């Protein structure tokens, strides 16, 4: 885990709690994603690492973001600048999105298969996972011929490996021991 992620966590949680309280979760997510992209810009990263005064840095950052961030978002930028944490904005945006997914009871699922899955297969996998995980599922399907056949499903910390490659590896290990 990166140091910036650790630094970003309390800010992301505070922003998320504020957004929920004010029924503006989607708006805050958009603001944080935009501000995070601004903070990732090479020129901005140089400025964030410079010895510029916090209030000047916050003012510059807010001017660059323009109307993309509201007054509350501007206050967050000012606090981050005062604490030397503007570099953490991309991580704050990522953590905020995770909190939003948890709040919305959604989960992103990576499905890797040997061949392209049909719409029916995707809907069957999605329905099965929604039942198992008790969440709305967003499938991200990838193709990797190296798994030979079957699928590998990753949903957060849960991994379901139904690939033939994995089964062959386990059989090989069993035969060698």
Q: Tell whether 34 and 121 lie within a shared domain.
A: no
Q: Tell whether 91 and 36 lie within a shared domain.
A: yes
Return the sign of the alpha-carbon dihedral for residues 153, 155, 156, 157. negative
Q: Tell whether 63 and 123 lie within a shared domain.
A: no
Range of the domain at 28: 3-102
Neighbouring residues of 116: CB distance < 8 A, sequence distance ≥ 6: 141, 143
The model's pLDDT over 65-77, given as tens digits with 9 standing for 90+, comes to 888 888 888 888 8
Q: Tell whether 117 and 80 lie within a shared domain.
A: no
**Domain-ending residue, one of 102, 131, 157:** 102
How many domains, the chain? 2
At 2, the pLDDT band (50, 70, 90 cuts) reads low
- For the cut 70, the answer to whether the pLDDT of residue 113 exceeds it is yes
Structure-token match 């010895």, residue found? 51
- What is d(CA 147, CA 135) in angstroms, rounded to the nearest whole number? 27
**Domain-ending residue, one of 77, 102, 127:** 102
Q: Tell whether 110 and 92 lie within a shared domain.
A: no
**Domain-ending residue, one of 102, 125, 155:** 102
- What is d(CA 90, CA 77) in angstroms, rounded to the nearest whole number? 12
At 169, the pLDDT band (50, 70, 90 cuts) reads confident
Q: Tell whether 50 and 115 lie within a shared domain.
A: no
CATH number for the domain harbouring residue 32 = 1.10.520.20
- For the cut 60, the answer to whether the pLDDT of residue 1 exceeds it is no
Neighbouring residues of 83: CB distance < 8 A, sequence distance ≥ 6: none
Dump strand ranges (E) for the chain: 106-113, 136-143, 151-155, 158-161
Tokens of 135: 């969440």
- Give the chain's mean pLDDT: 85
Q: Tell whether 10 and 97 lie within a shared domain.
A: yes
Neighbouring residues of 124: CB distance < 8 A, sequence distance ≥ 6: none
What predicted TM-score, i.e. pTM, was given to this entire model?
0.64
- For the cut 50, the answer to whether the pLDDT of residue 30 exceeds it is yes
Q: Tell whether 98 and 170 lie within a shared domain.
A: no
């Amino acid at each position: 885990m990166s140091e910036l992620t650790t630094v970003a966590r309390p800010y992301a949680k505070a922003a998320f709690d504020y957004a929920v309280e004010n029924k503006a979760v989607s708006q805050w997510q958009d603001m944080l994603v935009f501000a995070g992209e601004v903070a990732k810009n090479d020129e901005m990263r140089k400025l964030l690492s410079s010895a510029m005064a916090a209030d000047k840095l916050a003012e510059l950052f807010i001017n660059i973001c323009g109307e993309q961030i509201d007054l509350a978002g501007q206050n967050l930028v000012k606090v981050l600048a005062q604490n030397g944490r503007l570099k953490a904005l991309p991580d704050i945006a990522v953590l905020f999105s995770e909190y939003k997914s948890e709040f919305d009871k959604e989960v992103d699922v990576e499905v890797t298969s040997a061949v392209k899955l049909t719409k029916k297969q995707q809907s069957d996998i999605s329905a099965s996972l929604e039942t198992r995980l008790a969440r709305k599922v967003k499938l991200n399907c990838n193709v990797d011929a190296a798994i030979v056949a079957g699928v590998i499903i990753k949903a957060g910390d849960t991994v379901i490996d139904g690939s033939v490659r994995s089964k062959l590896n386990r059989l090989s290990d069993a035969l060698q021991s």
